[in-house]
Amino acid sequence: MIVSQILSAKSEGTETEAVFTVRPDMTIADAAELLSARRIGAVIVSEDGTHPLGILSERDIVRELGREGATVLARQVKDLMTSKLKSCTPDMSALDVLEKMSEGRFRHMPVMIGEEMVGLVSIGDVVKARLSQLSMEKDALEGMIMGH
Please, are residues 32 and 57 in contact by the beta-carbon 8 Å criterion?
A: no
Residue 29 vs residue 12, higher pLDDT: 29
By the 10 Å C-beta count (0-12 exposed, 13-18 middle, 19+ buried), 135 is classed as exposed
Q: How far apart are CA 28 and CA 43, in angstroms?
A: 11
DSSP strand pairing (21-22 vs 42-46): parallel
- The span from the CA of 88 to the CA of 96, in Å, is 9
Q: Where do the structural domains in the chain lie, given as residue ranges?
A: 3-146
| 11 compared with 126, residue with greater pLDDT | 126
Asked whether residue 84 carries a pLDDT value surpassing 90, the answer given is yes
Contact between 59 and 80 under an 8 Å Cβ cutoff? The reply is no
- Binning pLDDT at 50, 70 and 90, where does residue 14 land? very low
> What average pLDDT does range 92-119 have in this prediction?
94
Q: How far is CA 29 from CA 73, 106, 128, 140, in A?
A: 5, 22, 31, 49
The secondary structure element, H or E, covering residue 57 is: strand 52-57
Stated as kind and residue range, the H or E segment containing 56 is strand 52-57
Distances (CA, A) of 49 to 18, 95, 133: 11, 27, 31
- The predicted-structure confidence for 38-57, as pLDDT tens digits, reads as follows 999 999 999 999 999 999 99
DSSP string, 9-44: HHHTSSS--PPPEE-TTSBHHHHHHHHHHHT-SEEE
What CATH number is given for 3-146 in this structure?
3.10.580.10
Contacts of 90 (CB under 8 A, 6+ apart): 2, 3, 4, 7, 111, 113, 118, 119
